[in-house]
Amino acid sequence: MTVETGAFFMRDRRRHPPALSPSYKTSVARSPRLPLLSLGSTMSEITGPVFGHGDLGPLDNDLIRNFASTGDPVGERIIVHGRVVDERGRGVPHTLLEVWQANAGGRYRHRNDRHLAPIDPNFGGCGRCLTDETGAYAFRTVKPGAYPWRNGANDWRPAHIHISVFGTGFAQRLITQMYFEGDPLIARCPIVQTLPDPAAIEALVAPLDMNAAVPFDSLAYRFDIVLRGRRSTFFENRPEGN
Amino acid sequence: MPQPLDYLKETPSQTAGPYVHIGLAPGAAGFEIFHNQLGADIAGPDAAGERISIEGRVLDGTGTAVKDVLIETWQANAAGIHAHPADPRHGEVEPGFRGWGRVVSDFETGRFVIETVKPGAVAGPGGRPMAPHISLWIVARGINLGLQTRICFADEPEANAACPVLGLIEQAHRRETLLAEPAGPGAYRFDVHLQGERETVFFDI
């Protein structure tokens, strides 16, 4: 495997939510107000943690089984799959994905979640996997439910799965949320609407993928993830940090 | 029309939310599921160098501690080498040293503790050595895109004065926002201020 050492492309911050997004109230007191300091990629940014199969257990990517004790969790069985690529379209192999979500009733297994929907004794709500050599990944779960949250007086989150991904350098570190095609709550969600660009919102909506569904077992959704690209090192100045 | 440029666009960020622990530190969420908790041990048992402990809080613009923050750390070992194949000397890193960790703030107090070894200097822009530092990536409810900053060490005045990254900070007094203050043998204190007069310097990397 070729080790990439090029600097990362400049991040297009218009693609991301601004730190201060008043409709998402918690962001107001938690958003930096001074300009970020631009820093080229140094060795500390082009490198990042490396994970291997020894870090994972055999059921880690199967949320239907990885916490089950008395049977399968309640809910619509789904497969979520896709590829992790960079902005040049190249697969990002052997990188760690971690996911977490509410159960089918919209309740998280978390000491701070007080939503009245019940905990599912057979559902933990988290999973993790490594991409393969092409950047492909898959996990199996139940479709999460929508739930109310304290922001406006009657704000509800659309069904979503949180996804964390590493890439090859610490500057690629990303957390996002995957939404489901056709959910009418997407357009009403203050967190989704922190994204100023409608095309960016569409990039977070996973389509139903019947070709990946398992008949009489599970539906499927496809969600591709794009991490920052990095420069090739042709005609490069001496890479910073080397 | 010129040929089209076929670059893809980065997937947009969304907040990690209040339940980030479920996915990244399930023990903190209140349950055990995996056979390990990734990021619990930054340096491993055999790493050379000074063992240090950095304690702090993340404070919001009202001065209130953020009690649902998750911080990832990334650093070189005591010899200034990263455990990553892009570092030409990565084969010299001690077995068990990953250099990456995760800490979560206490749900009651907001206090976090980073336990690791003090990193060595790493070459930076133009080959000039950067002051010993630990890179941070900070996520929480209300943070829409992970915040990137660094911890440097106040007891390394010469390395800090020569550091090409600290030198990029135009307002000299703001460099202090990146300095962990000694607080006893092997102990440091480092608070992150998300906004306000003492706002921490965050990076666009």
Cβ distance B84 to A111 less than 8 Å, yes or no, reads no
pLDDT at res. A241: 44
Question: Residue A33 and residue A24: Cα distance in Å, rounded?
Answer: 16
| B66: closest chain A residue by CA | A30
Helices (H), A10-101: 26-29, 43-46
Cβ distance A241 to B124 less than 8 Å, yes or no, reads yes
The alpha-carbon gap from B65 to the nearest alpha carbon of chain A, in Å, equals 10
Cβ distance B200 to A27 less than 8 Å, yes or no, reads no
Contact of A117 with chain B, judged by CB distance below 8 Å, is answered with no
- Tens digit of each residue's pLDDT (9 = 90 or more) over A79-129: 999 999 999 999 999 999 999 999 999 999 999 999 999 999 999 999 999
The alpha-carbon gap from A51 to the nearest alpha carbon of chain B, in Å, equals 9
pLDDT band at B129 (very low <50, low <70, confident <90, very high): very high
Contact of B99 with chain A, judged by CB distance below 8 Å, is answered with yes
Catalytic hit among A24, A137, A147, A221: A147
Cβ-proximal residues to A70 (8 Å cutoff; 6+ apart), any chain: A121, A122
CA angle A201, A160, A79 (to 5 degrees): 110
Interface of A with B in 167-196 (CB under 8 A): 168-171, 173-177, 191-192, 194-195
Least confident residue range of A84-93, A194-203, A224-233, B115-124 = A224-233
Is residue B43 over pLDDT 70?
A: yes
Percent helix / strand / coil, chain A, rounded to 5: 15, 25, 60
The alpha-carbon gap from B182 to the nearest alpha carbon of chain A, in Å, equals 23
- Tens digit of each residue's pLDDT (9 = 90 or more) over B137-167: 999 999 999 999 999 999 999 999 999 999 9
CB A109 within 8 A of CB A118: no
**CATH for the B13-193 domain, from 2.60.130.10, 3.40.950.10, 2.50.20.10, 3.30.750.210:** 2.60.130.10
Bridge partner residues of A129 (DSSP): A97
Q: Which of B26, B146, B148 sits opposite A126 (nearest CB)?
A: B26
Q: Which residues of A touch B10 (CB under 8 A)?
A: 11-12, 15-16, 87, 174, 226-228
pLDDT at res. A1: 55
Residue B113 has a CB neighbour count (10 Å cut-off) of: 12
CA angle A164, A168, A170 (to 5 degrees): 70
Write the DSSP assignment of chain B as a string of letters.
-PPPP----PPPP----TTHHHHH-HHHHT---SSS-TTS-SS-TT--S-EEEEEEEEE-TTSPBPSS-EEEEE---TTS--SSTTSTTGGGSPTT---EEEEE--TTT-EEEEEEEPPPPEE-GGGPEEPS-EEEEEE-TT-SS-EEEEEEETT-HHHHHH-TTGGG-SSGGGGGGGEEEE-STTEEE--EESSSTTPPP-EE-
Cβ distance B62 to A112 less than 8 Å, yes or no, reads no
Bridge partner residues of B117 (DSSP): B51
Q: Is A115 a catalytic residue?
A: no
Is residue B126 over pLDDT 90?
A: no
Assembly ipTM: 0.96
pLDDT at res. A203: 98
pLDDT at res. A71: 97
Across chain A, what does the average pLDDT equal?
A: 95
| Residue A3: closest CA among B67, B204, B91, B149 | B91
What percent of chain B shows pLDDT beyond 90?
Answer: 98
CA contacts within 13 A on the Cβ side of A98: 22
- Tens digit of each residue's pLDDT (9 = 90 or more) over A124-158: 999 999 999 999 999 999 999 999 999 999 999 99
Cβ distance B127 to A17 less than 8 Å, yes or no, reads no
Q: Which of B19, B126, B145 sits opposite A108 (nearest CB)?
A: B19
pLDDT band at A70 (very low <50, low <70, confident <90, very high): very high
For chain B, the structural domain boundaries read: 13-193
- Tens digit of each residue's pLDDT (9 = 90 or more) over A192-215: 999 999 999 999 999 999 999 999
Q: Which residues of B touch A27 (CB under 8 A)?
A: 15, 142-144
pLDDT at res. B23: 97
What percent of chain B shows pLDDT beyond 70?
Answer: 100
Is residue B84 over pLDDT 70?
A: yes
pLDDT at res. A242: 40
Contact of B5 with chain A, judged by CB distance below 8 Å, is answered with no
Cβ distance B144 to A27 less than 8 Å, yes or no, reads yes
Q: Is A221 a catalytic residue?
A: no
Catalytic hit among A108, A137, A179, A221: A108
- The pTM of the full predicted model, rounded to 2 decimals, is 0.97
The alpha-carbon gap from B85 to the nearest alpha carbon of chain A, in Å, equals 7
Question: Residue A77 and residue A71: Cα distance in Å, rounded?
Answer: 14
User: How much is the average pLDDT of A156-185?
Assistant: 98
Q: Is A24 a catalytic residue?
A: no
Across chain B, what does the average pLDDT equal?
A: 97
- Tens digit of each residue's pLDDT (9 = 90 or more) over B163-183: 999 999 999 999 999 999 999
Q: Is A162 a catalytic residue?
A: yes
